[in-house]
Amino acid sequence: MVKSRSLLMIMVALTVTATLGAWMYMSMETLELGAILLFAGAGLIVLGSFYIAYTRLRAERAGLPGEDELSRRVMEKASAGAFVATIWILTILIMFVVDSNLRPEHVLELAIVLIGLAWVGLWIYYHSQGIEGE
Protein backbone atom coordinates (compact mmCIF):
# COMPACT_ATOMS: atom_id res chain seq x y z
CA MET A 1 0.00 0.00 0.00
CA VAL A 2 2.80 2.41 0.79
CA LYS A 3 4.39 1.79 -2.60
CA SER A 4 1.12 2.78 -4.18
CA ARG A 5 1.26 6.12 -2.29
CA SER A 6 4.73 6.83 -3.63
CA LEU A 7 3.70 5.85 -7.13
CA LEU A 8 0.60 8.03 -6.79
CA MET A 9 2.82 10.97 -5.80
CA ILE A 10 4.94 10.39 -8.91
CA MET A 11 1.83 10.15 -11.11
CA VAL A 12 0.45 13.40 -9.70
CA ALA A 13 3.80 15.12 -10.25
CA LEU A 14 3.84 13.88 -13.86
CA THR A 15 0.29 15.12 -14.38
CA VAL A 16 1.17 18.54 -13.00
CA THR A 17 4.26 18.60 -15.23
CA ALA A 18 2.13 17.82 -18.29
CA THR A 19 -0.37 20.50 -17.29
CA LEU A 20 2.42 23.04 -16.79
CA GLY A 21 3.83 22.15 -20.20
CA ALA A 22 0.44 22.55 -21.88
CA TRP A 23 -0.15 25.85 -20.08
CA MET A 24 3.25 27.14 -21.12
CA TYR A 25 2.75 25.99 -24.72
CA MET A 26 -0.65 27.69 -24.98
CA SER A 27 0.68 31.01 -23.69
CA MET A 28 3.90 30.89 -25.69
CA GLU A 29 3.48 34.19 -27.52
CA THR A 30 2.71 36.30 -24.43
CA LEU A 31 5.39 35.19 -21.97
CA GLU A 32 6.64 37.98 -19.76
CA LEU A 33 9.29 37.81 -17.06
CA GLY A 34 6.66 37.33 -14.35
CA ALA A 35 5.10 34.40 -16.19
CA ILE A 36 8.49 32.78 -16.74
CA LEU A 37 9.27 33.13 -13.03
CA LEU A 38 5.90 31.57 -12.14
CA PHE A 39 6.61 28.65 -14.48
CA ALA A 40 10.07 28.23 -12.97
CA GLY A 41 8.69 28.34 -9.42
CA ALA A 42 5.99 25.79 -10.22
CA GLY A 43 8.61 23.63 -11.89
CA LEU A 44 10.77 23.75 -8.76
CA ILE A 45 7.78 22.69 -6.66
CA VAL A 46 7.18 19.73 -8.99
CA LEU A 47 10.88 18.80 -8.83
CA GLY A 48 10.65 18.89 -5.03
CA SER A 49 7.67 16.55 -5.09
CA PHE A 50 9.54 14.22 -7.46
CA TYR A 51 12.45 14.20 -5.00
CA ILE A 52 10.19 13.40 -2.04
CA ALA A 53 8.47 10.59 -3.94
CA TYR A 54 11.81 9.24 -5.18
CA THR A 55 13.32 9.12 -1.68
CA ARG A 56 10.23 7.31 -0.38
CA LEU A 57 10.25 4.83 -3.24
CA ARG A 58 13.99 4.21 -2.82
CA ALA A 59 13.52 3.56 0.91
CA GLU A 60 10.65 1.17 0.21
CA ARG A 61 12.69 -0.78 -2.33
CA ALA A 62 15.47 -1.11 0.25
CA GLY A 63 12.98 -2.71 2.63
CA LEU A 64 12.61 0.32 4.89
CA PRO A 65 9.32 2.04 5.61
CA GLY A 66 8.67 4.83 3.14
CA GLU A 67 7.33 7.11 5.84
CA ASP A 68 8.73 6.73 9.34
CA GLU A 69 8.38 8.90 12.43
CA LEU A 70 11.31 11.16 11.52
CA SER A 71 10.00 11.84 8.02
CA ARG A 72 6.60 12.70 9.48
CA ARG A 73 8.26 15.11 11.92
CA VAL A 74 10.24 16.65 9.05
CA MET A 75 6.99 17.21 7.13
CA GLU A 76 5.30 18.67 10.23
CA LYS A 77 8.23 21.00 10.87
CA ALA A 78 8.37 22.09 7.21
CA SER A 79 4.61 22.66 7.21
CA ALA A 80 4.79 24.76 10.38
CA GLY A 81 7.61 26.84 8.91
CA ALA A 82 5.71 27.24 5.64
CA PHE A 83 2.67 28.43 7.59
CA VAL A 84 4.75 31.15 9.24
CA ALA A 85 6.27 31.97 5.84
CA THR A 86 2.73 32.19 4.42
CA ILE A 87 1.79 34.87 6.93
CA TRP A 88 4.93 36.87 6.11
CA ILE A 89 4.57 36.40 2.34
CA LEU A 90 0.94 37.51 2.33
CA THR A 91 1.69 40.48 4.59
CA ILE A 92 4.53 41.64 2.35
CA LEU A 93 2.45 41.13 -0.79
CA ILE A 94 -0.43 43.13 0.67
CA MET A 95 1.94 45.96 1.62
CA PHE A 96 3.42 46.21 -1.88
CA VAL A 97 0.29 45.50 -3.92
CA VAL A 98 -2.22 47.85 -2.30
CA ASP A 99 -1.58 50.79 -4.65
CA SER A 100 -0.16 48.91 -7.62
CA ASN A 101 -1.78 48.04 -10.90
CA LEU A 102 -1.28 44.27 -10.54
CA ARG A 103 -4.33 42.15 -11.12
CA PRO A 104 -5.48 40.07 -8.12
CA GLU A 105 -5.03 36.76 -9.95
CA HIS A 106 -1.35 37.51 -10.55
CA VAL A 107 -0.85 38.29 -6.87
CA LEU A 108 -2.60 35.05 -5.92
CA GLU A 109 -0.46 33.04 -8.37
CA LEU A 110 2.68 34.59 -6.94
CA ALA A 111 1.58 33.88 -3.37
CA ILE A 112 0.79 30.23 -4.11
CA VAL A 113 4.12 29.65 -5.85
CA LEU A 114 6.09 31.37 -3.07
CA ILE A 115 4.30 29.34 -0.39
CA GLY A 116 4.99 26.12 -2.26
CA LEU A 117 8.64 27.05 -2.70
CA ALA A 118 8.90 27.85 1.01
CA TRP A 119 7.52 24.42 1.92
CA VAL A 120 9.77 22.53 -0.51
CA GLY A 121 12.81 24.51 0.60
CA LEU A 122 12.09 23.90 4.28
CA TRP A 123 11.46 20.19 3.66
CA ILE A 124 14.79 19.82 1.84
CA TYR A 125 16.56 21.79 4.60
CA TYR A 126 15.11 19.75 7.47
CA HIS A 127 15.53 16.49 5.56
CA SER A 128 19.23 17.13 4.96
CA GLN A 129 20.10 18.89 8.26
CA GLY A 130 17.80 16.98 10.58
CA ILE A 131 15.51 18.34 13.25
CA GLU A 132 17.19 19.92 16.25
CA GLY A 133 16.65 17.95 19.45
CA GLU A 134 15.49 14.71 17.80
Q: What was the pLDDT predicted at 40?
A: 83
Reported pTM: 0.69
Residue type, 124: I
Report whether 123 contacts 79 (CB < 8 A): no
In this predicted model, what pLDDT tens digit does every residue of 96-114 receive, in sequence order? 887 778 777 778 888 888 8
How confident is the model over 75-81, as a mean pLDDT?
89
Q: What was the pLDDT predicted at 88?
A: 92
What integer best gives the mean pLDDT of the chain? 81
How far from each other are the two terminal CA atoms of the chain, in whole angstroms? Answer: 28
Q: What was the pLDDT predicted at 84?
A: 93
Q: How far apart are CA 103 and CA 105, in angstroms?
A: 6
Look at residue 27 and tell me whether its pLDDT is greater than 90. no
How confident is the model over 41-59, as a mean pLDDT?
83
Q: How far apart are CA 87 and CA 111, in angstroms?
A: 10
Band (pLDDT 50/70/90 cuts) for residue 133 is low
Band (pLDDT 50/70/90 cuts) for residue 134 is low
